[in-house]
Amino acid sequence: MKFHPISHLSGTVTVPGDKSISHRAVMFGSLAQGNTTITNFLPGADCRSTIQCFRSMGIEIEHSGTNVTVHGQGLHGLRKPETILDVGNSGTTTRLLSGILAGQQFSSVLSGDHSLNSRPMGRIIRPLSEMGASIKSLKGNGCAPLQIDPGTLHGIHYLSPVSSAQVKSAVLLAGLYGDSETKVTEPALSRDHTERMLKSFGADITSIVHSDGSASASIFPCSELYAQDICVPGDISSAAYFIAAGLLVPDSEILIRNVGINPTRAGILDVCRNMGADITFVNKHTDQEPTADLLVRTSKLHGTTIEGALIPSLIDEIPMIAVMAAAAEGITIIKDAQELKVKETDRIATVTEGLQAMGADITPTEDGMIIRGGQSLHGAQINSYLDHRIAMAFSIAGLIAEGTTSIDSSHCVDVSYPTFFETLRSLSQ
């Protein structure tokens, strides 16, 4: 896919449904009693992997476009899969599903693509084993393929060294099958979609943010979850590319409709505000998850510092934020973000490589990056390394860089945003 500088962007976009929420709706719907309907489901490859895994365990799931109906079989209704569960590129599927499988009375094996099978699973193997689960990395390298055998689970209080919603959710989901309360404490609050949605399905779950910023969620085993109708808000991680495009491309005005603005996900909006962005919230609405339409206009951005508790609320948006920082005046420092190294790619390395190729002044650090903004960017050939967020962030960079920017393996956007390029094109017409 090739990009050139563009004079302006305008129009209205509706981003697809939130990836994290779409996964959870299928998972919890499968474990609930009755039919869960999901509207505005994200039909990206990651969420399709989740659907396939649950179908392989005997759950009937009707899926047509953005509408899904899950015929839940209750907490103990999954059946032993006949084949390996293929989790594709999806870390969320792997880690949350591992928590669920730890509580089942059958054995299973989870495996994914090359990137997925290189990502660290010790972070879930450790707490799940502590609970009594029988879970092992088949290659002994702490990565998938993972084999999970029946075990008897006990409640624990897990002090997680990382703020990770995937780790937290894996432990809480296993906690549904425990014999007493299970509690997870993390250094700073990560996205809380699991807590919100499990509560609506009837789970006995509570959460609290402590005065030092750490956060705990507790769950009690329960006998049943109950089917829900879930309307998935637009994914702020997908909206991020149009927020950046609207801010960076001259003479632009973009309205992004129905974006999920859950505070545990909306860190990019705080960062944009700190950088001097012109973003107006319209039509704010709160159901289970808060949403708003975002009106974004071209802005002169300046550098900022991004660190601490803000990091988990924007971790997936850092590639896009780094591009904005390269175009902004002044220095942007991103720290406390070592988690970037274990995403679909090592995003400290892939962001640095791409921005350096385009002429930006960026220094990678152990836990983030330092970007001295304001250098004029030029087109380059960008290797996405099959990381959807790298492909999308550098597509936007290509709209403000002189010359031609080409993105390799751009089809990887299918993981979270199959129609990304069409939507972007519609704004330039």
CA distances from 219 to 197, 199, 228, 244, 281 (A): 13, 10, 19, 38, 34
Among 315, 390, 407, 424, binds ligand S3P (CB under 6 A): 315
User: Bridge partners of 402?
Assistant: 378
CB of 116 to ligand S3P, least distance (A): 12
**Burial of 58 per CB tally in 10 Å (0-12, 13-18, 19+):** middle
Based on the residue annotation, tell me whether 204 is a catalytic residue of this protein.
no
Which of 78-86, 105-113, 163-171, 356-364 is the region at the interface with ligand S3P (rule: CB under 6 A)?
Answer: 163-171
- Name the residue nearer to ligand S3P (CB basis): 339 or 353: 339
Residue least distant from ligand S3P (Cβ)? 20
Q: Does 165 bind ligand S3P (CB under 6 A)?
A: yes
Helix H segments across 176-300?
193-200, 236-248, 267-274
Residue (293 or 339) nearer to ligand S3P, CB: 339
Burial (Cβ within 10 Å: 0-12, 13-18, ≥19) of residue 227: buried
d(CA 427, CA 265): 25
Could you say which of 195, 235, 316, 387 contacts ligand S3P (CB under 6 A)?
Answer: 316
The number of beta carbons lying within 10 Å of the beta carbon of residue 358 is: 24
Which of 93, 160, 166, 405 is in the footprint of ligand S3P by CB under 6 A?
Answer: 166
> What size, in residues, is the chain?
429
Please work out the total of residues on this chain that contact ligand S3P, with binding judged by CB under 6 A. 11
Beta carbon nearer to ligand S3P, 207 or 298: 207
Q: In angstroms, give the least distance from the CB of 311 to ligand S3P.
A: 9
Task: Name the region of 290 (left: φ>0; alpha: ψ -120 to 50; beta: rest).
Answer: beta
Interface with ligand S3P includes 20 (CB under 6 A)? yes
Strands (E), 261-360: 278-286, 290-297, 305-306, 330-334
Angle at alpha carbon of residue 362, lines to 317 and 324, rounded to 5°:
40
Cβ-based nearer residue to ligand S3P, 248 or 337: 337
**164 lies in the binding site for ligand S3P (CB under 6 A):** yes
Of the pair 131, 340, the CB lying nearest ligand S3P is at: 340
**CA atoms within a 13 Å half-sphere pointing along the CA-CB vector of 272:** 28
Q: Which is closer to ligand S3P, CB of 309 or CB of 331?
A: 309
Q: Which of 46, 192, 316, 414 is catalytic?
A: 316
Binding marks (x or -) toward ligand S3P, 82..111, rule CB under 6 A? ----------x-------------------
- Asked if residue 117 binds ligand S3P (CB under 6 A), the reply is no
Instruction: Look up residue 48 and give its two tokens.
Output: 């399709």
Q: Are 275 and 253 in contact (CB under 8 A)?
A: no
Is 193 in a helix, a strand, or coil?
A: helix
CB of 137 to ligand S3P, least distance (A): 17
Candidates 8-16, 164-172, 262-270, 292-300; binding stretch for ligand S3P (CB under 6 A)? 164-172
The residues annotated as belonging to the active site are 316
| Residues binding ligand S3P (CB under 6 A) | 20, 92, 164-166, 169, 190-191, 315-316, 339
